[in-house]
Amino acid sequence: MASETQKTYIADLATVKTKEFKEVKELILASGIVSDQAEIVNSAQSIAQITDALTDLQASQFIDVLIKSKTPKRENAYSSKRIDKTIAALDDIKKTIAAWTF
Amino acid sequence: MDYSIFTKTILAKVLKALALINNPEIEPAVRQLNQEILFREVGQSVYAKIYEMNAFDFEIEFTTGAGIDDRYYGLAKVAGASVATGALGLDEYVENYIDNTIGKAQKDAVSNARQSGKFPTVTRTESSSACEWCQSKTGTFTDPDSSIFARHGGCKGKIVTEGFKSRNGLLGNYASS
């Protein structure tokens, strides 16, 4: 069974090395590490459901796969449209809270 | 009053803001930082409002609470990473964060009320589906320990705080800002 340290490391690496959860699934399936547990991987809704099913050896192998995979290119700043939408959403939340009453 | 009824009025809106921040094309550290800002802002607003309402009820309007704790950092990390690690249970984490922020404001208001010579009551009830720990916290208290106001995710008990104005039907005089 994978250790808690391995599970945390896998989650941290997956966050850095992939853009979406489905990429994590594709990566582990393509590596052949979990051929017997492919169904668990396919139906998983979180990385914890995958790492809970791994042995310590499989977890170690998956860590190697993640380390070797290329880090995707990402942006450091949001678009102004998304920033405006998020600020509007936060303002709406604050207005709702301010209106709470007995 | 059971203040956790307010959680559902903002939960969907907070999840919408969370989703806007969770753009997969943005660096994970930047997403996490912005989730921290979101949860801190929401937490501070919720805390201030719930403390203010309790302070009105307890007749301690001249006081302020200690404020939120730093658990929003952990939630922001989980929320920011959920793009790549899956969002299973994330809505429950957010709901629990809001509920616990409300509980902390109630706790601080009760504590400050007692130090001001007021004696509010706290009544906690849980459904039979709540966990053993949460069920062990049920009862009516005049000098509650801090754990009475804590909740586990998924345990939706009622934590009712009542002060002078609750007991005397004077809550109608409250003016929301």
Q: Residue B137 domain-assigned? A: yes
Is there a contact between B20 and A82 if contact means CB atoms under 8 Å apart? yes
What's the pLDDT score for residue B177? 64
Cβ distance of B27 and A23 shorter than 8 Å: no
Which residues in chain B are closer than 8 Å to A77, comparing Cβ atoms? 26, 30
Contacts B84 to A, Cβ<8 Å: 14-15, 17-21, 23-24, 47
C-alpha A8 chain-centroid distance: 11
Q: What is the structure's pLDDT at B156?
A: 85
Enter the tokens of residue B62: 């001249």
Domain ranges of chain A: 4-68
Residue B176 lies in a domain: no
What's the total number of domains in chain B? Answer: 1
Question: Can you give the pLDDT at residue B175?
Answer: 84
B92 touching chain A per CB within 8 A: no
Closest by CA to B98, choosing from B138, B152, B42, is B42
Searching chain B, which residue's CA lies closest to the CA of residue A47? Answer: B85
> Using CB atoms, which residue from A82, A92, A100 is nearest to B6?
A100
How far apart CA A14 and CA B26 sit, in angstroms, is 15
In one letter, which amino acid is B12? A
Question: Is B27 an interface residue toward A (CB < 8 Å)?
Answer: yes
Least Cα distance to B56 among B1, B123, B122 occurs for B1
Average pLDDT over residues A48-54: 94
Query: Exposure pattern of B126-157 as b/e (b: 16+ CB <10 Å)?
Result: beeebeeebbebeeeeeebeeebbbbeeebbb
Q: CA A93 to CA B14: how far, in whole Å? A: 7
- Intervals of chain B under pLDDT 70: 177
CA distance B23 to chain A (A): 8
Q: Which domain holds residue B99?
A: 3-170
B10, B20, B23 ranked by CB distance to A96: nearest = B10
Whether A11 sits inside 8 A of B81 (CB atoms) is: yes
Strand order in the sheet with B158-162: B139-141, B121-125, B158-162
pLDDT at A9: 97
Minimum CA–CA partner of B20 in chain A: A86
pLDDT, average across residues A11-17:
96
User: What's the pLDDT tens digit per position in A60-86?
Assistant: 999 999 999 999 999 999 999 999 999
| Residue B177 lies inside a defined structural domain of this protein | no
- Give the pLDDT of residue A35: 82
Looking at residue B25, what is its pLDDT? Answer: 96
Would the pTM count as exceeding 0.80?
yes
Q: How confident is the model at residue A36 (pLDDT cuts 50, 70, 90)?
A: confident
Q: How far is CA A32 from CA A27, A41, A58, B76, in A?
A: 9, 12, 10, 33
Q: Which of A40, A79, A93 to mutate to test the interface with B (most CBs of B within 10 A)?
A: A93
Instruction: Tell me which amino acid residue B99 is.
Output: D
pLDDT tens digits, one per residue of B145-175: 989 999 888 888 899 999 999 999 999 989 8
User: Are residues A51 and A87 in contact, defined by beta-carbon separation less than 8 angstroms?
Assistant: no
Contact B86 A49 (CB under 8 A): yes
